[in-house]
């Protein structure tokens, strides 16, 4: 074998060693690179997932807060509307009750109903029945006779402070069936008016 052939053979051995050694170094490096790449992708996906979840939670919180503000605003608007409606309805209610007192038929029902309530709530005996000065004498006498039939001695007393209805007193007990007495529980009446307004077609 001549020098050229020996050199070529030696170069082949060196090339084979270099190729083998490169393969020995490259395979673990390539495997490690693949592993690092997979880990980096997994970490990146995790970060993206976390960021998306945080964004979703933030958006959900903002939407929830906006819905709560909207619900609050709707409730406040409904309350303002109800307050305005009740303010407008209060004087017509008083006027309607005054008109019922001025009408003889509805006044008679008013008196009969309230005296029947008084008979169940107050003790028998002497009563003071305060009334508006314009309550007709004949109706006063009829009420007095009705109460006398139930063992009650009624003393009608005209009271200029009463514009409609009666205030009945027996001893220390008193029932106020006057216009102001009937409207004294304003909150309860307004609640009932609102209920009637919402039930109306």
Q: What is the pLDDT of residue 201?
A: 64
Q: What percent of the chain has pLDDT over 70?
A: 98
Of the spans 13-22, 61-70, 174-183, which averages the highest pLDDT?
A: 61-70
Mean pLDDT of 18-28: 80
Domain boundary among 89, 115, 138: 89
Quick: pLDDT tens for 78-133: 878 877 777 777 788 888 888 999 999 999 998 999 999 988 888 888 999 999 99
Dihedral angle over CA of 162, 166, 171, 172, nearest 10? -60
188 and 161 share a domain? yes
126 and 44 share a domain? no
Q: What is the pLDDT of residue 137?
A: 92
77 and 108 share a domain? no
- Domain encompassing residue 72: 1-89
How many folded domains does the chain comprise?
2
pLDDT over threshold 80, residue 188: no
Quick: pLDDT tens for 37-81: 888 888 888 888 888 999 999 998 899 888 999 998 998 888 788
Residue 116 domain-assigned (yes or no): yes
Residues, the chain, total? 201
Domain boundary among 89, 117, 146: 89
Confidence band, pLDDT 50/70/90 cuts, at residue 6:
confident
Q: What is the pLDDT of residue 138?
A: 92
Q: What is the pLDDT of residue 96?
A: 87
Contact in structure between 149 and 124 (CB atoms under 8 Å): no
Strands 125-131 and 173-178: unpaired
Q: What is the pLDDT of residue 1?
A: 67
Question: In Å, what is the CA distance from 176 to each residue of 9, 50, 110, 122, 173?
Answer: 130, 70, 13, 12, 10
Contact in structure between 134 and 102 (CB atoms under 8 Å): no
Strands 125-131 and 152-158: parallel
Mean pLDDT, rounded, of the chain: 85
Distance CA 196, CA 93 (A): 13
């Amino acid at each position: 074998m001549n020098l050229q052939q020996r050199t070529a053979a030696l170069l082949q051995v060196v090339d084979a060693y270099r190729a083998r050694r490169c393969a020995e170094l490259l395979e673990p490096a390539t495997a490690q690179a693949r592993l690092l790449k997979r880990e980096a992708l997994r970490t990146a996906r995790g970060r993206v997932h976390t960021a998306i979840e945080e964004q979703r939670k933030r958006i959900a919180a903002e939407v929830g807060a906006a819905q709560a503000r909207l619900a609050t605003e709707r409730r406040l608007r409904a309350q303002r509307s109800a307050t305005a409606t009740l303010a407008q309805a209060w004087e017509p209610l008083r006027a309607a009750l005054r008109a019922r007192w001025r009408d003889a038929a509805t006044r008679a029902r008013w008196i009969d109903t309230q005296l029947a309530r008084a008979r169940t709530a107050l003790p028998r005996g002497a009563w003071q029945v305060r009334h508006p000065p314009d309550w007709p004498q004949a109706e006063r006498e009829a009420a007095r006779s009705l109460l006398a039939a139930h063992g009650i001695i009624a003393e009608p007393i005209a009271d200029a402070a009463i514009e409609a209805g009666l205030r009945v007193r027996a001893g220390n007990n008193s029932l106020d069936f006057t216009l102001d007495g009937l409207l004294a529980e304003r909150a309860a009446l307004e609640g009932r008016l609102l209920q009637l307004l919402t039930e109306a077609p």
